Structure 1
Amino acid sequence: MSFFKSLFSKKQPTARPKLNHPSELQLNDIFTFGDSFALPEAMRKQQLQVVDINTLEFQHQHYAQIVGQGSGQQLVYVSFPNNPKKLIKLSLLLSRNEVEALFDLDAFSEIFEEPGNARLRPLTKQHIYADMIADEYIQEEFMISGYSHQQDYRGTQPPQYTEDQHGREFEYHCLEGGAGERSVDIFIFENGDTDVYLSFLRPANEITELWMKGE
């Protein structure tokens, strides 16, 4: 009898634990930023859905990059690099026009010249991302190699490099300002594509609400 009971009984799906931290977000989950004036309008009080989860891999660490999208086209990137204060990194991808509006391009080009001692001062603070912008950025990282994976490798290791299975290789440059809590992050990929992010580190509680898909 016990055999037949086990054979025909319906297996209950395993419930996900309640979300307690943004790093636990999964695809299609929802999160909402608070109303802090430290956040730019692209984030403040915005509700976003997780539309993608990537992994950024460096020599000594890898971490998730959660991509959120609200009612518009603006994407917000939330990532979790190691740092002593356990702050989360909030980033916005800049268009070429936005880079040109924020920085002198001759000064910007010095980022890619050895040994990597560039210093940048924004051309303006009258910008929609003004709350994220430091008064000055000093180059901290020059041409660090890494991989971008379009998969979630939280809790496991990304695959070792092979001809058939590896992420997109990039060279990473970083300039920091605002006591190390604001940055310009630049990823140059193998095919020449270049992504420039304006980023800053904030407490995780800037994200005030978390919902699992279907709640």
Structure 2
Amino acid sequence: MSFLKKIFNKTEETQRKLTDVSQLLVGDIIVLTDSFALPEVLRGQQLQVTAVNTYEYEHGPQLEWTLQGSNSLLLFLSLDVDDATELKFALKVERDDVETLFDLDHFSEIFDEPGQAFLDKKADNALTSSWTSEQYQQSTFAKVGYFHRKDHRSENLSAYEGKDAGEQFELYALFNEDQSKGLDVEVWQDGETDVFLTIFRPLSDIVEMYPAS
């Protein structure tokens, strides 16, 4: 075997191949379909993985990939595994966005036991347009989880209190009628509250995946 052929074969062997979304690492790039079913900030975009974090729940860990495209907007991707596996994209929104979307008195009912809030959308703004649904029904109330700034595939998650422990939070979740769109609310121990608009899409919406060079 010639020297050049040896090098060529070695390069082929060591080159990562991406065949499944669950294999994504920091630096990898995904390309999305240009379907009008996607919000404009996702449509036809090339998005790079900038971080991989882990949400830990009683049923086990769940990966979250932070994505960034040509603009400064951060998006979040996870896999929703049920009868079928779907892509779950999340967009973090601020208080002003929430005030535009919902009546805040009704929104606060999310945190009232037993967790059966029903929300009607008031209006969208430029950011939230096509991310939202007209109505949402609550399905999750105060579900305890831990957020780890770690990729559990390569780093162990600490089961103990201390500097390596995850950040505890409570999750409140709502969905529209066909569960194609949702709303995740995370309440942290210091009282800070994060609100995410979520959209569920088929795996085929990712048309290409490129490993980091």
Normalising by structure 2, we get a TM-score of 0.88
1:39 aligns with 2:26: no
Distance 2:96 2:203 in 1: 30
User: Residues 106, 208 of structure 1: CA spacing in aligned structure 2 closer, same or farther, 3 A cutoff?
Assistant: same
Distance 1:33 1:12 in 2: 28
User: Residues 126, 162 of structure 1: CA spacing in aligned structure 2 closer, same or farther, 3 A cutoff?
Assistant: closer
Whether the aligned pair in 2 keeps the contact of 1:40 and 1:128 (CA below 8 Å) is no
Deviates more, 1:17-26 or 1:69-78: 17-26
Say which SS state the counterpart of residue 80 (structure 2) adopts.
Answer: coil
Specify every segment of 5 or more residues in structure 1 that has no aligned partner in the other structure, as ranges: 1-10
Q: Which residue of 2 aligns with 1:3?
A: none
Whether the aligned pair in 2 keeps the contact of 1:21 and 1:204 (CA below 8 Å) is no
**Structure 2 matches for 1:132-211, cutoff 5 A?**
132-154=131-153, 158-211=157-210
* 1:122 to partner: Cα distance: 0.8
Look up the equivalent residue of 2:136 and give its one-letter code.
Answer: Y
Q: Which residue of 2 aligns with 1:67?
A: 66
| Percentage of pairs with the same residue | 35
* 1:12 to partner: Cα distance: 8.3
Specify every segment of 5 or more residues in structure 2 that has no aligned partner in the other structure, as ranges: 1-9
Whether the aligned pair in 2 keeps the contact of 1:87 and 1:201 (CA below 8 Å) is yes
Q: Which string of whole-angstrom CA distances, capped at 9 and with x for unpartnered residues, describes residues 99-144 of structure 1?
A: 1111111100110111111101111256543323122111101101
Whether the aligned pair in 1 keeps the contact of 2:16 and 2:211 (CA below 8 Å) is no
User: Residues 16, 169 of structure 1: CA spacing in aligned structure 2 closer, same or farther, 3 A cutoff?
Assistant: farther
Distance 1:169 1:190 in 2: 6
Distance 2:103 2:141 in 1: 19
Whether the aligned pair in 1 keeps the contact of 2:100 and 2:124 (CA below 8 Å) is no
* 1:164 to partner: Cα distance: 3.6
Q: Which residue of 1 aligns with 2:4?
A: none
1:89 aligns with 2:115: no
Look up the equivalent residue of 1:130 and give its one-letter code.
Answer: S
Look up the equivalent residue of 1:188 and give its one-letter code.
Answer: V
Say which SS state the counterpart of residue 130 (structure 1) adopts.
Answer: coil
Q: Which residue of 1 aligns with 2:29?
A: 30
Look up the equivalent residue of 1:72 and give its one-letter code.
Answer: N
Say which SS state the counterpart of residue 147 (structure 2) adopts.
Answer: strand
* 1:16 to partner: Cα distance: 4.7
Look up the equivalent residue of 1:174 and give its one-letter code.
Answer: A
Q: Which residue of 1 aligns with 2:7?
A: none
Q: Which residue of 1 aligns with 2:54?
A: 55
**Structure 2 matches for 1:120-139, cutoff 5 A?**
120-124=119-123, 127-139=126-138
Whether the aligned pair in 2 keeps the contact of 1:30 and 1:47 (CA below 8 Å) is yes
Q: Give the number of aligned pairs.
A: 204
User: Residues 125, 163 of structure 1: CA spacing in aligned structure 2 closer, same or farther, 3 A cutoff?
Assistant: closer
**Structure 2 matches for 1:107-122, cutoff 5 A?**
107-122=106-121
Whether the aligned pair in 1 keeps the contact of 2:170 and 2:186 (CA below 8 Å) is yes
